[in-house]
Structure 1
Amino acid sequence: MSNAYLNEIDIYNEKLKEEFISKYPDQTHSIYRRVFYYSAAVEEMHGADLYEFNLKQIGEVLKSMNPSSLASVKSGVSIIKAYIDWAIHRRSNNLNPLDVVDVEWERQFVDTTKKLFFSKDEIDDIISNCKNAQDSVIISLLFYGVGGKEVSELRNLRYKDVNFEDKLVTLTNENGEQRQVKVPDQTLQLLQEAAKQLEYYKRNGHIAPNSRNTKGTSKLIETGYLIKPANTKNVHLSQVNTHVVYGRLSTISELFEIENFTVKNIQRSGMIYMAKQILDRDGKFEDKEQYFEICEQFGVNKTVNNGYEVYSWFAMKEYINLDMIKQLYRESSLS
């Protein structure tokens, strides 16, 4: 379910649940509410609040969430368990059914049909099959931390912003704010190739023989920015608009038959890869300081908490964690 649709749902016994939510930091409130949006339909059906649920009923809530990873299930379980513990005095007994569950019980609710994230090898394979360096560089930059609102850092990037000696890229967001990220040699090579590309292969070179427009390429227009528009009817002589980036990824997704190949999922895949690198370096991945490293690389927003600016990192634990690393990178060092 989309966030817009969920927000239209009334939380069951809302006053009580909001009292529970208020115990936690502001930046986590939307995560807790999301679970209660899903539980509402099951609570209505059974005519009982979530704190009174048995294990089977809790399972119905988790299943309705269609979680795509074990991490998502664990997040839901953790929130429901905390809520039942908090309201335990209201239950008909003083037992929390989630006290006895294990990882195998949680695993049954993972929707294994939905793939959202990609390993570095998968990203490299996709990049190697892109005929346009203009497409490859978008994927690589997103994977290694470039983003901004409506991919502004990507759209604002100029070739002169790349320091090839120090492997640093200076990024400018929609507000003109700048930051630097380090990128690997592969990305630097793609930056060079993308800057030199003059002709864009339509549909990655897959133009149907019976197509009305038999010309397989479009001329790219030099605008001073690294991501160039093709010479079509609607040309922007400055930065490309957001839809150009989304459209190119959509075409790759369609041609390569890759579901959920979106800006957000490519970036999150890169975050998980960075977490794996930190795990290999430190021998563990659990501290908020390690999450902060990822936040720094990917330009994660900060929020004010108790008068201090801090990264909004807590929600990242849903998809950046040891289980997800193990799922994408099945290596002996992760066992």
Structure 2
Amino acid sequence: MTSLKDNFKYANSNFKEHFIAEIEKKYSNTMKLQYINIFKNVLELEERVFKKDLYDFTKDEIKNALKNFNAKTYNSITSKYSLIKKYIQYAEEMNIKRGAMNFSIKADEIRNLISSEALKNRYCTRNELKKVLSEKLINGSDKAIFILLFEGVMGKEYSELLTLKAHQIDLDNKIINLKNKIINISNYTKDTILQTINEDVYYKYLGDICSTNESYSLDINSPYLIRLRPKKNQLTPQPMKVAGLKRRLDVLKDIMEKPLLTGRTIYLSGLAERIVKHEITINRKLNTREIREFLSDNNETVETGDMLRILKLMREKILKDLNYKMEISFC
């Protein structure tokens, strides 16, 4: 903790040392280390920018400090905000802080502080997804999981994807018939589905290397597109369970070297593409009300504000991905 024992003009190193000692006594060494990291990261802001200790930071100054952490997830930045609040509240209790902390940072504000580079890595364009699927994955069913999520096959707890049956897919017309909607699919998705239907063996992955020596047979009698290995005492084939799908997604993300991708963010990436395609059709960018209506008309449950953030992040990339020659400014 030598960095906190130094004498600084604005950062109250003595109080921080006292606070750290209290944290270690009352909580855990892990929390102590988290605070040490926070104090080191805000030191330059305290000494050179805002010229005050962290406990006297305003709302905007705390947001600036949180942004400097380059946090990759909402949970990460929320955790840091919670720790900073605890430090400020302790300063109030000890009568060190000049006044009470009479503000809070809302969830939407916190989301805007997530590292923009990390956010970009959570979403993808169609061609980015196709490229990594083609280069990294070998099983058709693995590729199908990702590309179908992108096309809009998801449902609550992945129900549409897990229960999707071959008879619901019209490859000739490139459509998928779901309970409440019809989904048009690309040629790549059609080819991936065809590969999946024709598969009778699943090859396991070791690290990022696929070993053709480790595999298992798939249940060719299963009506589901994403099939499992046959079970001896099971008369009727069952769909993959949600937990099994999530485990497979975790493995495949590592194979693809895309750790920030999730089933949800892939689905939202595809939804963003569908909105941009609609904007191209009408030759202008949708406003907030129109995006809300688009989501409602298509039975999408995503929050309008979240969709606006994704579009702001991805619209330009999607337009480029679609090779659209912009006659007006969409960005």
TM-score (norm 1): 0.58
| 1:134-179 per-position Cα deviation (integer Å, ceiling 9, x unaligned) | 111111110011111110000111111112344321224xxxxx43
Partner of 2:242: 242
CA separation in 2, counterparts of 1:251 and 1:149? 22
Contact 1:142 1:270 in 2 (8 A): yes
Instruction: Give the RMSD, CA atoms, in angstroms.
Output: 3.7
Partner of 1:167: 174
Contact 2:224 2:239 in 1 (8 A): yes
CA separation in 1, counterparts of 2:118 and 2:159? 32
Equivalent positions of 1:147-162 (< 5 A) are 147-162=154-169
Partner of 1:19: none
Partner of 1:197: 199
CA separation in 2, counterparts of 1:234 and 1:46? 64
Equivalent positions of 1:105-120 (< 5 A) are 110-113=115-118, 115-120=121-126
Contact 1:63 1:109 in 2 (8 A): no
Question: Relative contact order (C-alpha < 8 Å, sep 6+): which is higher?
Answer: 1
Tell me the amino acid that sits aligned with residue 126 of structure 1. Answer: V
CA separation in 1, counterparts of 2:67 and 2:204? 43
Tell me the amino acid that sits aligned with residue 128 of structure 2. Answer: E
Determine which of 55, 61, 68 is the counterpart of 1:56: 61
CA separation in 2, counterparts of 1:292 and 1:223? 39
- Cα 1:283–1:58 change in 2 (3 A) is same
Alignment length (residue pairs): 232
| 1:291-317 per-position Cα deviation (integer Å, ceiling 9, x unaligned) | 5445655x423xxxxxxxxxx542333
CA separation in 2, counterparts of 1:261 and 1:54? 31
| 1:84-118 per-position Cα deviation (integer Å, ceiling 9, x unaligned) | xxxxxxxxxxxxxxxxxxxxxxx997453552111
Q: Structure 1: give runs of 5+ residues left out of the alignment.
A: 1-44, 73-106, 173-177, 209-213, 302-311
1:143 aligns with 2:150: yes
Determine which of 306, 320, 325 is the counterpart of 2:315: 325
TM-aligned CA deviation for residue 133 of structure 1: 0.8
CA separation in 2, counterparts of 1:223 and 1:153? 16
- Cα 1:254–1:231 change in 2 (3 A) is farther
CA separation in 2, counterparts of 1:215 and 1:232? 21
Partner of 1:314: 304
Question: Which range moved further: 159-168 or 132-141?
Answer: 159-168
TM-aligned CA deviation for residue 200 of structure 1: 0.8
Equivalent positions of 1:259-270 (< 5 A) are 259-270=259-270
Equivalent positions of 1:123-142 (< 5 A) are 123-129=129-135, 130-142=137-149
CA separation in 2, counterparts of 1:264 and 1:216? 30
CA separation in 2, counterparts of 1:215 and 1:187? 28
Q: Structure 2: give runs of 5+ residues left out of the alignment.
A: 1-53, 78-111
Overall identity of the aligned pairs, in %: 18
Question: Which range moved further: 286-295 or 239-248?
Answer: 286-295
Contact 1:275 1:294 in 2 (8 A): no
1:275 aligns with 2:275: yes
Contact 1:66 1:109 in 2 (8 A): yes
TM-aligned CA deviation for residue 65 of structure 1: 8.8
- Cα 1:138–1:67 change in 2 (3 A) is closer
CA separation in 2, counterparts of 1:244 and 1:109? 29
Determine which of 195, 200, 206 is the counterpart of 2:209: 206
TM-score (norm 2): 0.58
Tell me the amino acid that sits aligned with residue 214 of structure 2. Answer: G
CA separation in 2, counterparts of 1:233 and 1:251? 26
| 1:239-268 per-position Cα deviation (integer Å, ceiling 9, x unaligned) | 111133222222221122212121011111
- Cα 1:293–1:187 change in 2 (3 A) is farther
Partner of 2:104: none
Partner of 2:228: 229
Contact 2:288 2:308 in 1 (8 A): no
CA separation in 1, counterparts of 2:232 and 2:163? 22
Partner of 2:92: none
TM-aligned CA deviation for residue 47 of structure 1: 6.7
Partner of 1:95: none
